[in-house]
C-alpha cells in the first residue's frame, strides 16, 4: 500500500472529496489506553449543513471509518516450531 493511502487526509478526501475552501475541524482525538487504538472525529461544514465522520487507526497504520477488530486469544505453533 502506498504511503499516501495510509494518511488520514487521503481517506477524508477519498470519502468527502476535496476540502479546500471548506471548513473541516477535528472535534475529537482520542487514544484508548486498553486497546491502544486511536480515533478521530472530523466535522465538516457545508452549505447544505454540517456532518461528522469518525476515523479509526488500525494496527497497520491505515485509517478507516470502521473500528479495528478486537484482539482475540490465539493458539499456534509458529513460535515453538522455529
Averaged pLDDT, 60-69: 82
pLDDT of residue 45: 85
Q: Where are the beta strands (DSSP E) in the chain?
A: 23-31, 38-46, 49-57, 63-64
Cβ atoms of residues 20 and 32 within 8 Å: no
Domain boundaries, the chain: 3-69
Phi/psi of residue 2, nearest 5 degrees:
-65, 150
Q: Yes or no: say if 52 and 12 are a contact pair by the CB < 8 Å rule.
A: no
CB atoms within 10 A of CB 54: 15
Query: What does the pLDDT look like over 3-56, one tens digit per residue?
Result: 556 788 888 888 887 767 677 888 878 777 666 678 899 898 888 888 888 888
User: pTM of the prediction?
Assistant: 0.66
What's the confidence (pLDDT) of residue 1? 47
Say which residue, 64 or 6, is predicted with more confidence: 64
Amino acid at each position: 500500500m502506498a504511503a499516501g493511502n495510509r494518511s488520514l487526509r487521503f481517506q477524508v478526501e477519498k470519502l468527502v472529496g476535496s476540502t479546500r475552501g471548506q471548513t473541516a475541524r477535528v472535534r475529537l482525538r482520542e487514544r484508548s489506553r486498553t486497546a491502544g487504538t486511536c480515533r478521530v472525529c472530523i466535522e465538516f461544514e457545508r452549505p447544505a449543513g454540517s456532518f461528522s465522520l469518525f476515523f479509526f487507526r488500525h494496527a497497520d497504520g491505515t485509517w478507516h471509518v470502521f473500528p479495528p477488530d478486537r484482539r482475540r486469544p490465539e493458539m499456534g505453533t509458529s513460535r515453538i516450531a522455529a
